Amino acid sequence: MTPIKQVIMLNPFQFLLQCTLFISIHHVSMGQDQDTPQNKSLRERTISGLLKGYDANIPPNFEDDIPTNVTVQLYIVSFDSISEATMDYSLTVFLRQSWTDHRLQYTKLPNIKSLELDARLMEQIWVPDLFFTNEKTAAFHHVTVPNRLMHIFPNGTLYYSCRISMTLSCDMDLHKYPFDDQDCHIVMESYGYSTSNLIFKWNSQPIIKRPDVSLPQFDLVKWTWSDCTKTYVNTNYTCLSADFYLNRNYGYYIAQVYIPSVLVVILSWVSFWLDIDAIPARISLGLLTVLTMTTQSSGARANLPRVSYIKAIDVWMAMCLFFVFAALVEFAYVNVMSRVERRRQTIRGEVSSVSIDQEVGNILEEKPNGKFKNKRLSNMTAQNRHRARQMDKISRIAFPGVFVGFNIIYWTTYMLWDGT
């Protein structure tokens, strides 16, 4: 039976189904035949034409023997941390660069301002070899895709942006810590190209800060920028630098360091009001305050580098430790005055046997209970105890007075001194 007869014998429904299937297969095959360069989108054809024969290893103006000018802008996303112990700071930025590559010029496309490249295509385009001179660690962001973009404009101008988180070194001066101000910088250079091939320039708006950027312990007061072109082995290399001026907020240190240490010093003065015979109480109080002050001093300096100079917080802690230690020494002196001479006289049992009747009358005094006491020893002991009590009374005024005087000098000096 011929195919035509087979089709005629089909019922209308089967015939319609086979016709539909034939038309669909023919349409798919025709669509595959039309997938040719002529039928690609205009944008896709333009990008393919630009990259054809393009060499990403050669700078734009290398053959013309003139440098490529690259404008740089930093958009500060966040200041993540500032560490005094390692003398560095971390921040996240958008690094934005713009330059002109005449090899990438194209005819302006309808309704298209610029060509936006995928991250995979960016690898085929030359980009400046900018690096951060004072960078310790850095990383590009890749979630959920590489955080980079590149736009190509018809005149060959490229706009390139990437998101970077990095930790940069910062040479800190801690003489006034924690009342210090810091100047942390960021330096960008070309690693391989001299100024004959590449020149970095700041954008008309060099640095932009996100409005709600804040730091827990610092205020970002201002930032400046400059050109820092350097010479290595008689060759000039382009360089840009920016400085961030930071003022430390010392409210945390007032609440966590200075006020507690003042209270410990005041606590050590309580011993001046205790009786001179309350030896266990005064010893316990003196040792407690000394140990507390030592522990607090160690904690305050735990996160600081071991610099060779004296910091403001070192002066404060040393003086507070001196005051509590002096209070303990004062008790030791008072205790010696009130007790040692009595023990010495008791051990000697000094009652002379010469002219016994007359001397005994002068030295011994009969008590109401029929016993005798040494009048010389009593007088000497009474004088020493009086002197001890006078020392306590003097200390009640002298210690607070000297401490207040120290505070006036300390706060005046470190609030007015600029640290230079």
Query: What CATH number is associated with residue 296?
Result: 1.20.58.390
Whether the per-residue pLDDT at 312 is higher than 90: the answer is yes
Any idea how long the chain is? 420
pTM exceeding 0.85: no
Residue 365: give the domain boundaries. Answer: 252-416
Q: Which residues contact 420 (CB under 8 A, 6 or more apart)?
A: none
d(CA 80, CA 191): 27
How deeply is 115 buried, as exposed, middle or buried, from its count of CB atoms within 10 A (0-12, 13-18, 19+)?
Answer: buried
d(CA 183, CA 27): 69
Whether the per-residue pLDDT at 366 is higher than 90: the answer is no
Q: Are residues 202 and 262 in the same domain?
A: no
Structurally, the chain folds into a number of domains equal to 2
Q: Are residues 204 and 143 in the same domain?
A: yes
CATH of the domain at 197: 2.70.170.10
Q: Are residues 293 and 182 in the same domain?
A: no
**Per-residue pLDDT, 89:** 95
**Residues 311, 177 contacting (CB under 8 angstroms):** yes
Q: Are residues 258 and 405 in the same domain?
A: yes
Whether the per-residue pLDDT at 24 is higher than 50: the answer is no
In this structure, what token pair is assigned to residue 30? 């025709």
Q: Which residues contact 274 (CB under 8 A, 6 or more apart)?
A: 281, 282, 285
Q: Are residues 163 and 60 in the same domain?
A: yes
In a domain, 388, yes or no: yes
Residue 396: phi, psi to the nearest 5? -60, -30
In a domain, 11, yes or no: no
**Residues 136, 198 contacting (CB under 8 angstroms):** no
Q: Are residues 326 and 201 in the same domain?
A: no
Q: Are residues 261 and 218 in the same domain?
A: no
Q: Which residues contact 258 (CB under 8 A, 6 or more apart)?
A: 316
**Per-residue pLDDT, 412:** 94
Q: Which residues contact 97 (CB under 8 A, 6 or more apart)?
A: 70, 71, 72, 73, 127, 128, 130, 159, 160, 161
**Residues 206, 74 contacting (CB under 8 angstroms):** yes
Sign of torsion, CA 286 289 292 293?
Answer: negative
Among residues 90, 89, 72, the alpha carbon closest in space to that of 129 is found at: 72
In a domain, 3, yes or no: no
**Per-residue pLDDT, 43:** 85
Q: Are residues 222 and 301 in the same domain?
A: no
Whether the per-residue pLDDT at 264 is higher than 80: the answer is yes
What are the Cα distances from residue 69, in Å, to 98, 104, 120, 191, 359?
8, 16, 25, 15, 111
The last residue of a domain, from among 222, 249, 276: 249
In a domain, 20, yes or no: no
Top-ranked range on mean pLDDT: pick from 111-115, 358-362, 397-401: 397-401
In a domain, 14, yes or no: no
**Per-residue pLDDT, 82:** 92
Whether the per-residue pLDDT at 152 is higher than 80: the answer is yes
Among residues 282, 399, 266, the alpha carbon closest in space to that of 338 is found at: 282
d(CA 166, CA 130): 14
